[in-house]
Chains A and B, each alone.
Chain A
Amino acid sequence: MTKILVLDPDSCTSCRLCELACSQRNFGVFRPSLSHIRVAINAEDAFYFPMVCIQCDDAPCIEECPTEALVRDPDTNAVVVVEENCTECGLCESACPYGAIRVFDGRAHKCDLCGGDPECVRFCAAGALRYESGESWPREQRQAYAEQLRNLAEEVKA
């Protein structure tokens, strides 16, 4: 059975160690602005929310990519970027409903679950990020997550 990255926003404390760990692991620099995982923080409302690719089963980024630069890793079930196929077209970025892919420095960037050992999870002491057995996010959970993101977007706008 594969594992999935479980997000538990209620346990998040807004420390952003996940962003630091992710950027260091993937880019060799402590630079939250590059991190695949981002904690949305609305301090006023004590609202903290980790946002990262949830590796959808029917991933729109894979469907939209015209050059097969996004493929499923059979071992981890993560959607990964094939760098040499990527043309920076940005279709994946607009297709992702969760804002979990960004295109910069000549290619798409997204969470690949660190090949099955997510660094963010190792640094999350609060238990807001966990890597646990499971097939993939069930539909209801994905819908709930999308709903929370939508609420967040509205709050930020307001």
Chain B
Amino acid sequence: MRRGLGAVAALTLALVTALIAQGGGDPASALRHVYLIPVAALALAFGRLGGTLGAGATLVLYASVVLPALERSGLTPETMEGLVTFALVGGVGALGGTLTTRARRQRARYETILTVQRALADVTPLEAALRSVRAVLLDRLRAADVGLVVRDGEREVVVGAERVVAGSVAARVLAGGPSVFVPDTGSGRRPRRVFATPLVVAGQPIGVLAVERVGELGDEERAALEALGAHVAVALENARLTSRARRFADELEARVATATRHLEELDRAKSAFVAVASHELRTPLTALRGFSEILAARSLAPDEVRRMAGIMGAEAARLGRIVSDLLDLSRLERGLEPTLHRVPVAVEGALTATADLFRGGAVDTIVVDCAPALPPADADPDALERILANVVGNAVKYSPPDSEVRLRARRAGAMIEIEVTDHGAGIAGAALARIFEPYYRAPDVGAVRGTGLGLAVVKALVEAHGGSIRIESTLHVGTRVTFSLPAVP
């Protein structure tokens, strides 16, 4: 359609010139007004280029009529008419074409902004929004490439490139610089021009819009790109905020769900603990009460009295340990560290005492293996006793009667590493991950007694000393608990 119009306009110009020449070459011929029609049509159809070319072609053609007359007769009213027609056609072509081009560019800008806003209306993840905007801009700006960078908190979201290269135009603009125009970036047949403009929201740069085009990118278009950048920035900011709000909502929902799950588990564990603790507390109390009633009601032989007193003492000690664990746990839950009175403690002595405590129980053999010349540990003796009692007690509880429990101590740098190895039932992987949680008891412990507090307290005590603890276990093979305490320097 537009090509056809160009051909028709050219033919009309040639025909009008031919008709004027045919009619005697009068510069004031009424036919000269017809020149305005194709020139105006070209200006409206093709803008500045069409109007200028149309006017230029008219001038070149009409000159062959006006100039000979001017040469022959000088400035007569007829030749003046011809010169006025020159000016009129030139003005209509240039002015009409320029106004048409401007109006079209303005419309194209509004359409681009509208298309960007439409593209962002339904897209909430920021990356998808940027990709969508880039696709729109590539199409609308007739660009060879478009790059977009947007800061979202600590991260930078980049589309159109892998990353922002340090020292690049985009990096300079992103660092808070003004818009940058690079007239030519290569040595191709036509210049490759790059323009990078900041995306600014409320005076703060949130990103960069970089456009690369083969061909022209004039002042007017660069100013328009800056304005477009402002619109894109607002639209992206909205998308970014929506995306962030949604992400926060999702994260919050996930956290609340996790916390709820955790609280539910804690609640279940506490309920289970209350039942277990009641039982654990009642058992020694029942024993104490029973033996005290026997001692009060009967006259017993001194050996029997000593045996009963020994049992009562052991039960009282067990009661004391449970109460201590509860108190420590209470302190931990309030965010307080256990109170320690650290002194040099002989590790071998502590291990031997613990082994003696559990010898004669369920396990056949408890072996103590201490490295020679081991320095004393810088530890609270009561805390160490409780740590060992808990760890060795667990090893003994979960081991078959004919197995061996080995207590090993070695120097490891500035620390003393103590290892308790058993050949018991082992701990399943899922339970191992939660073994240090308060109130947690592995589901397959069966009838083995315990409160679920021991290892949580042990971990807190070890860490309060500045040490660490780890457990390695293989189901049906055995478990190794390794913890470290600082050595006396």
Same complex for A and B? Answer: no
Q: Which residues of A contact B (CB under 8 A)?
A: none
